[in-house]
Amino acid sequence: MTSLKKILSDKNLSWKSVWFMRQAGRYLPEFRKIRSQNQNFIELCLNSKLSAEITLQPIKRFDIDSAIIFSDILMTPYALGQDVKFIKDQGPELSEFNLERFLDSNEREFSEKLFPVYKAIELTRKNLNKDKSLIAFIGAPWTLLVYILNIKKNKTEMDLNKLNNKNININQILDKLIKFSCIHIKNQINAGADIVQIFDSWAGLIPLNNIKDYCFIPNTKIVEFCKKEKIPNICFPKGIKEKYEDFTRIVKPDGINLDYEIDPLWAKNRLRDVVIQGGLDPKILLKSEGEMLEGATKYIQTFKDIPYVFNLGHGLLPETDPDRVKKLIEFYRNF
């Protein structure tokens, strides 16, 4: 095992690492205890001390290879002037989008509003072993746009009327989001993070004729910024199916996270000059131990001779047994 930063920086080495998306979250009793005493999720993300403590919980429990800062992709629209609430069993709810206020946002105010996030990264880095990577993250511009404009009807449909509203210049909003996403990345790296993951969680909702403008181009601009700043980066364009190949070729990220719909052998044969991460369906941790280990074996065997980061095709589910996570980590390391 070695640091995730090293793996991403040197793609020719067959080094391995393991961490999980949403590894600091609701499946951990120690997290649920903190969460029960902090009902406002945004305020919890802005509590630097607690955010750092939560970030380190899976490190202390599992001695996992990387920490990912406890925060949320919606901290960006929050810092750009929208109210963000998390409704139990429903998810996030954002206040009505105000284009004028959004366009008037400036870097100083944005960074000041998110200062507690950067402080949490600083605290985490001080308490994290030097051989472990600290991952920052952002939401990709399209995915943030989905929440900002409340475009999503459900997990498979979106409101095309909102997307095609002539009074809203989508590209203008995306450009602004790209700018502030890069600011947020740089601030997190300056605070002590050494990698960034870019979550395009709703890329699968983009109409095919828009995928270049709404997915490939925004992600490319952010990855180019990262490369200019020498920041190792991982992209996660969830749900785009065979377009993963075009995405990897055009965007050229250091790492690409597979979702659980992507066949690992297809990915190994089609995705070139990139570190592959993840892919395992998080639901498999809810099945029998035998099924879980069989599923893990498929990914480990497929990627055994190339740089690979063992992870999931989405985040750990709240109902996951922590002992299953421990078993999976041990199985991977002893394979």
Query: Residue 257: pLDDT above 70?
Result: yes
* DSSP classification of residue 134: E
- Per the document, the length of the chain is 335
Inter-residue contact 100 to 66 (CB < 8 Å): no
For the chain, the average pLDDT equals 94
pLDDT at 124: 98
Query: Residue 15: pLDDT above 70?
Result: no
Task: Spell out the residues 6+ positions from residue 160 whose beta carbon is closer than 8 angstroms to its own.
Answer: 207
Burial of 232 (C-beta count, 10 Å sphere; 0-12/13-18/19+): buried
Break the chain into its structural domains and give their ranges. 4-334
Closest CA to 198 of 261, 136, 118: 136
Of all residues in the chain, what percent carry a pLDDT higher than 70? Answer: 97
pTM of the entire structure? Answer: 0.95
Of all residues in the chain, what percent carry a pLDDT higher than 90? Answer: 84
pLDDT tens, position by position, 180-214: 999 999 999 999 999 999 999 999 999 999 999 99
pLDDT at 11: 65
Query: Residue 165: pLDDT above 80?
Result: no
Task: Specify the range with the lowest mean pLDDT, choosing from 12-16, 61-65, 296-300.
Answer: 12-16
SS3 21: coil
Query: Residue 2: pLDDT above 90?
Result: no
**Class for domain 4-334, per CATH?**
alpha beta
Inter-residue contact 205 to 237 (CB < 8 Å): no
Rounded CA separation 33/202 (Å): 30
The angle, 0 to 180 degrees and rounded to 10, between the axes of the packed helices 141-148 and 217-228 is 130
Query: Residue 244: pLDDT above 60?
Result: yes
